[in-house]
Amino acid sequence: MPPVNPQAIAKASARYVRVSPQKARLVVDLIRGKRAEDALHLLRFTQKRIAADVEKLLQSAIANATERLELDVDALYIAHAVVNEGPRQKRIRPAPMGRAYRYQRRSAHIEIHVAERPGAVMTRTVEEPKRPAGAAVKRAKPGATKAGAKKAAKKPAKKKRSTISKLANQRSKPSAPPARKGGSKNKGGE
């Protein structure tokens, strides 16, 4: 579905990317036509090497849309995504008996266009109006009692850790070496 305003298309392209176009198309086909936010989440968890490059390219296209064209980020979708073949580098690999096998190192040109979806509903949240200082409303937590409040007051508050620090702690812990499958190295039958 083409956007209403053809000038409201933000583009980003990556040229001479060292990946086979066939492999890059597998990833680009996943995000074509999707909302920009959904596509970013999808790329973040895709188990392909080129997914990181496509994610970076999509973020560039989104930045172009918001900075240059001042489009709404929440209404952006991938209007056009294509992978074209770049130049091939011919290489030679040594083979038995003095021969040589030829192979080609392929490259790709990746291009992504993002646009505002026509008739997109705004998904931004509306802030509540500010209350005067004297009219603060106290809301009780469901199931809260005075006895529960006293118990909570006695316990010291735990320090909250950010998600990043949790991930860093998980990565820094040494892991046990993988267990060997099979028997011992001695195969003499002793």
Question: Could you read off the pLDDT of 21-45 as tens digits, one per residue?
Answer: 999 999 999 999 999 999 999 999 9
- pLDDT for res 127: 56
Whether the Cβ atoms of residue 115 and residue 8 lie closer than 8 Å to each other: yes
pTM for the whole thing?
A: 0.60
Of 53, 39, 44, 47, give the one whose Cα is nearest residue 83.
Answer: 53
The total number of structural domains that make up the chain: 1
The domain of 74 spans: 9-116
Rounded Cα distance between 185 and 172, Å, is 32
Answer whether residue 151 is part of any domain. Answer: no
Answer whether residue 23 is part of any domain. Answer: yes
Answer whether residue 164 is part of any domain. Answer: no
Answer whether residue 161 is part of any domain. Answer: no
- pLDDT for res 3: 47
Answer whether residue 174 is part of any domain. Answer: no
Residue 72's CATH number: 3.90.470.10
Answer whether residue 176 is part of any domain. Answer: no
Q: Which value, in Å, is the radius of gyration of the alpha carbons in the chain?
A: 28
- pLDDT for res 50: 96
Answer whether residue 173 is part of any domain. Answer: no
Residues of the chain with pLDDT under 70: 1-6, 120-190
- pLDDT for res 119: 72
Answer whether residue 93 is part of any domain. Answer: yes
